[in-house]
A and B are shown apart, each in its own frame.
Chain A
Amino acid sequence: GAVVSQHPSRVICKSGTSVKIECRSLDFQATTMFWYRQFPKKSLMLMATSNEGSKATYEQGVEKDKFLINHASLTLSTLTVTSAHPEDSSFYICSASYGSYNEQFFGPGTRLTVL
């Protein structure tokens, strides 16, 4: 149980284009979903927290117009990187939480490369 999928696993795009990443909880309904960014050999950096039907809460320094989050249902959240630039290249990971202690279950991540 508690499986989270992410799609795509890898994406390469040209500078200026937009990229959408999907995060799905496959066998549970998530109360909250989170989006993280991870740099090589570093820990996770929380970008935003989203709840179904509500606007996402962004962490300080994260541009909401750059990283659009839509949480359409209890099992699906999407992150759209708009007008991507090379500095947006990174490993993006989502997580979904549920349960008594709000444990977070992570997706496998999406490697974004912007040329």
Chain B
Amino acid sequence: TQLLEQSPQFLSIQEGENLTVYCNSSSVFSSLQWYRQEPGEGPVLLVTVVTGGEVKKLKRLTFQFGDARKDSSLHITAAQPGDTGLYLCAGAGVSDSWGKFQFGAGTQVVVTP
């Protein structure tokens, strides 16, 4: 079983501050996804990273995939209240059939005005 450890579990910051969420595993993933989920809704895909060392930017969000494809980070610059939500990382294992994902436990981010 490939486990994804996500940290921190909870993050409360003021508007304008930066934050980083981490996703780590001892196993290699063929790809890794980041999602954001708001209460009462389904997760929304933010990004997919597939290449070791890859960095992707989505406006104020920067996603990085570790060189060994075992870990990833999400960095938000100048956070806004609209960034509030549950952030989930999910990895597709190299040996998983049917594209089954391993999900991290999630990071609840709260950005206050």
Contact = CB atoms under 8 A, between A and B. Distances in A.
Interface of A: 2, 4, 6, 31-32, 34, 41-44, 46, 49, 51, 57, 91, 93, 95, 97, 101-109, 111
Contact of B103 (A43, A57, A111): A43
A2 B44 CA distance: 11
B96 to A, nearest CB: 9
Interface stretch (B35-43, B56-64, B73-81): B35-43
A49 B98 contact: yes
6 contacts: A2-B45, A93-B42, A104-B45, A109-B41, A109-B42, A111-B40
A103 B42 contact: no
Given A41-B108, A44-B88, A101-B31, A108 B41 contact: yes
Given A31-B99, A43-B88, A101 B30 contact: yes
A55 B105 CA distance: 28
Given A32-B99, A49-B98, A104 B106 contact: no
A49 B100 contact: yes
Interface residues of B, number: 25
- Mostly, the A contact residues are strand
Contacts, number: 62
A31 B97 CA distance: 12
A50 B85 CA distance: 29
A108 B39 CA distance: 10
Contacts of B104: 43
Contacts of A49: 98, 100
The 5 closest A-B pairs by CB, nearest first: A102-B99, A106-B42, A101-B31, A43-B106, A108-B42
